[in-house]
């Protein structure tokens, strides 16, 4: 009597699933003009900021690195020029994330994805990581554009290099938290990514935290929020600043990914 042999198929592990999702998402990212367009936008922003008459430019910046980060944390912005630094990447990055994820639903990619094997958690994490990478790349092109703008404007480049490096790294690390927030917003408004774009712009400007700060003042408690930690990374940063940015970014990324996974599991993803 012959024994029947049973074929056992092992389910892919979480790491294998996530690796596969990341591979697909990075392929799509690198093969869409959208990514390169927003890299170029990030590089051009510093030049646009420094444009205008010399009096206006001088009143906004006395040092080229102020185009990258403020001298000290600015939770309350008295004029728009104070916000004119690398934090603007988080506004335009949100718009890019909304368009990138919105295309998943418009093209029917999500329907095909969830009909086959992908788990909601894998989708949220993959999108958050890929979009965080995109925004970190935008920070780099913004830095290049900022240096070029500083040279053309004839501004001083004197700075504490250690604090500058921490400020740049801090803002790049914050990309994870911001990308997770924008991915979560697109999980909510997946069929109407125009709303996601509007909310990305609204939240990216930090209006909510600015409003709270105008009441409670420049309290360090504001560092627990994305916008707060983003402005905490400034030209007077230290190692504590970097740790705060890391903890806050990872913390909010965890929260938004859990909420997004729960949302997608409870509702029709199409």
Q: Give the residues across from 156 on adjacent strands.
A: 63
Does residue 41 carry a pLDDT above 70?
Answer: yes
| Mean pLDDT in residue range 93-115 | 79
Does residue 34 carry a pLDDT above 80?
Answer: yes
> What tens digit of pLDDT does each residue of 146-165 get?
999 999 888 899 999 999 99
Q: Among all chains, which residue has been given the structure tokens 């500083």?
A: 150
Cβ contact 172:122 at 8 Å: no
In this prediction, residue 10 carries a pLDDT of 61
Per-residue tokens: 182: 């924008």
Query: Taking the model in full, what pTM does it have?
Result: 0.88
In this prediction, residue 57 carries a pLDDT of 46
Question: Residue length, the chain?
Answer: 270
C-alpha dihedral (190, 193, 195, 196), degrees to nearest 10: 80
């Amino acid at each position: 009597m012959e024994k029947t042999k049973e074929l056992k198929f092992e389910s892919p592990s979480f790491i294998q699933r996530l690796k596969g999702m990341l591979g697909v998402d990075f392929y799509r990212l690198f093969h869409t003009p959208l990514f390169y367009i927003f890299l170029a936008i990030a590089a051009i922003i510093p030049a646009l900021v420094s444009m205008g008459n010399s009096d206006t430019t001088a009143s906004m910046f006395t040092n080229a690195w102020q185009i990258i980060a403020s001298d000290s944390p600015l939770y309350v912005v008295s004029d728009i020029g104070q916000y004119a630094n690398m934090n603007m990447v988080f506004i335009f990055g949100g718009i890019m994330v909304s368009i990138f994820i919105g295309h998943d639903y418009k093209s029917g990619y999500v329907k095909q994805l969830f009909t086959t094997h992908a788990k909601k958690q894998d989708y949220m994490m993959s999108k958050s990581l890929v979009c965080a990478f995109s925004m970190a790349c935008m920070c780099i092109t913004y830095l290049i554009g900022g240096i070029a703008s500083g040279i053309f404007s004839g501004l001083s480049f004197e700075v504490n290099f250690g604090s500058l490096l921490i400020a740049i790294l801090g803002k790049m690390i914050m990309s994870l938290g911001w990308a997770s927030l924008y991915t979560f917003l697109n999980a909510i408004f997946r069929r109407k990514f125009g709303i996601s774009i509007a909310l990305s712009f609204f939240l990216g400007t930090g209006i909510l935290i600015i409003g709270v700060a105008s009441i409670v003042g420049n309290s360090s408690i504001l560092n627990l929020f994305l916008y707060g930690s983003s402005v905490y990374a400034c030209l007077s940063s230290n190692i504590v600043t970097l740790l705060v940015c890391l903890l806050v970014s990872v913390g909010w990324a965890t929260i938004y990914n859990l909420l997004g996974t729960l949302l997608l599991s409870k509702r029709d993803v199409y």
